[in-house]
């Protein structure tokens, strides 16, 4: 029997990330090494031994940096979603409120319903090129 995936919706900002998990209030963490460790510890506490899929909008360097840190964790996959898809999904849900917590919840709802594919970083050369842009 396969274990059910726990989805985590994350709204990524320059200095803060806000995460949402079903049945829990969204929580914010500093977008730093210790903050990301706190994020991982929090969703691990919720997920237990089940696999985790963290979903976030593409926010350029900020989402890539977080994704690369999360991919180092065992049993964690990452999906980076086009922001236009999230915007369209928000409209379908008729949600007008725009806060970081609401954004994280909408990303979570999108991930649960659409089960987006896993993101994989490009080759080292492509990652270096993206960092220059």
Q: How many CB atoms lie within 10 A of CB 51?
A: 14
As assigned by CATH, the class of the 6-128 domain is alpha beta
Domain ranges of the chain: 6-128
Q: Which of 109, 106, 104, 77 is nearest to 5 (CA)?
A: 77
| pLDDT above 80 (res 2) | no
Q: Tell me the per-residue pLDDT of 86-113, one tens digit each, with 9 for 90 and over.
A: 999 999 988 888 899 999 999 999 999 9
- Write out the two tokens for 105: 């919840």
Q: Which of 66, 73, 50 is nearest to 9 (CA)?
A: 66
How confident is the model over 28-33, as a mean pLDDT? 95
β-pairing verdict for 27-30 and 52-57:
unpaired
Instruction: Report residue 52 CA to chain centroid gap.
Output: 10
Q: Which pLDDT belongs to residue 1?
A: 40
Strand partners of residue 30: 16
Q: Tell me the per-residue pLDDT of 46-57, one tens digit each, with 9 for 90 and over.
A: 999 899 999 999
């Amino acid at each position: 029997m396969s274990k059910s995936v726990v989805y985590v919706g994350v709204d990524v900002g320059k200095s803060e990330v806000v995460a949402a998990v079903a049945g829990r209030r969204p929580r914010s963490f500093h977008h730093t090494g210790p903050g990301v460790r706190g994020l991982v510890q929090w969703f691990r506490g919720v997920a237990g031994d089940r696999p985790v899929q963290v979903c976030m909008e593409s926010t350029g360097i900020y989402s890539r940096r977080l994704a690369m840190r999360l991919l180092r964790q065992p049993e964690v996959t990452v999906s980076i979603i086009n922001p236009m898809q999230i915007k369209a999904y928000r409209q379908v849900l008729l949600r007008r409120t725009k806060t970081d917590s609401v954004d994280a919840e909408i990303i979570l709802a999108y991930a649960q319903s659409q089960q987006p594919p896993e993101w994989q970083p490009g080759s080292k050369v492509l990652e270096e090129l993206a960092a220059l842009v």
